[in-house]
C-alpha cells in the first residue's frame, strides 16, 4: 500500500486481508469514516480477555494501569486520509500489559517516535471495472532494535490470529455499512 510505505516502509511483521465489495469507492470511504464508532461484542470480549490480567493487577494495587476505556481504534492516531484510503498509527511496547502506548498527536509525532515499536493499520480502496471495489487492510509492525523484536515476536505469534479475525470482521462491517447506504 503506497500510503503505508510513507509511514512505515521497513517492517518485520505484517498481515493483509481484502474483500471485494459491490459498492463504489465513495460509499466505502463513507463507511470507513464510521469505523471508529464500530462496536463488535466478540472483539470487545477478546480485548477484555487480553486486558484481564492487567485489570486484575490494578484492582490488587499494581501501579501500572490500563486506561479506563478498553483498547480500540480510538487508541490509534490518524496519520493520513485521502480518496484511496486511510492510515492509522500506534507506537509502544504492545506486549506490555498496558500496551506501553505512546501518545501521538499526529503523523509527525509518529515519525519522531522511533525508539519503540511502531504499527500502521492501513485501509485502501481500489475501484474495479465492474463498479465494485476492492477493500484492503494491511497491518505492519517495525521494531527498532533486537531487544524489542525479541519481546514482540512471541506476542505477535499469540495475537496474530486474533488480529486477523478482527481485521476480517472490520472488512465485513465496512462492506455492510456501504451496502446499507446503497439499499437505504
Instruction: Count how many Cα atoms sit within 13 Å of the Cα of residue 160 in the half-sphere of its side chain.
Output: 15
Measured CA to CA, the distance from residue 142 to residue 8 in angstroms comes to 7
Flag residues of the chain having pLDDT under 70: 1-2, 63-67, 184
What is the CATH T-level fold of the domain 2-183, as seen in this structure?
A: Alpha-D-Glucose-1,6-Bisphosphate; Chain A, domain 4 (3.30.530)
Contact criterion met (CB below 8 Å) for 178 and 46? no
129-171 per-position pLDDT tens digit? 998 999 999 999 999 999 999 999 999 999 999 999 999 999 9
- Tell me, what DSSP letter sits at residue 70? P
β-pair partners for 118:
91, 142
Residue spans of the domains in the chain: they are: 2-183
Residue 72, pLDDT score? 80
Residue 64, pLDDT score? 65
Residue 184, pLDDT score? 63
Residue 7, pLDDT score? 96
Measured CA to CA, the distance from residue 174 to residue 91 in angstroms comes to 25
**Which among 141, 132, 137, 117 is positioned nearest to 35, based on CA atoms?**
137
- Is this structure's pTM higher than 0.95? no
β-pair partners for 91:
118
Measured CA to CA, the distance from residue 167 to residue 32 in angstroms comes to 13
Measured CA to CA, the distance from residue 171 to residue 19 in angstroms comes to 7
Residue 69, pLDDT score? 75
C-alpha to C-alpha distances, 8 to 23, 45, 155, 168, nearest whole angstrom: 29, 30, 20, 22
Amino acid at each position: 500500500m503506497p500510503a503505508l510505505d510513507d509511514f512505515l516502509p521497513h517492517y518485520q511483521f505484517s498481515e493483509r486481508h481484502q474483500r471485494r465489495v459491490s459498492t463504489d469507492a465513495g460509499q466505502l470511504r463513507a463507511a470507513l469514516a464510521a469505523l471508529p464508532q464500530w462496536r463488535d461484542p466478540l472483539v470487545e470480549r477478546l480485548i477484555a480477555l487480553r486486558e484481564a490480567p492487567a485489570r486484575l493487577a490494578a484492582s490488587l494495587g499494581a501501579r501500572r494501569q490500563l486506561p479506563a476505556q478498553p483498547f480500540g481504534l480510538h487508541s490509534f492516531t490518524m496519520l493520513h486520509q485521502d480518496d484511496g484510503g486511510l492510515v492509522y498509527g500506534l507506537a509502544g511496547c504492545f506486549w506490555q500489559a498496558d500496551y506501553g502506548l505512546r501518545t501521538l498527536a499526529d503523523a509527525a509525532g509518529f515519525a519522531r517516535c522511533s525508539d519503540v515499536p511502531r504499527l500502521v493499520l492501513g485501509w485502501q480502496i481500489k475501484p474495479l471495472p465492474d463498479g465494485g471495489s476492492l477493500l484492503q487492510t494491511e497491518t505492519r509492525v517495525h521494531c527498532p532494535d533486537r531487544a524489542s523484536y525479541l519481546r514482540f515476536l512471541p506476542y505477535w505469534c499469540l495475537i496474530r490470529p486474533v488480529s486477523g479475525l478482527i481485521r476480517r470482521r472490520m472488512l465485513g462491517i465496512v462492506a455492510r455499512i456501504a451496502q446499507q447506504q446503497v439499499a437505504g
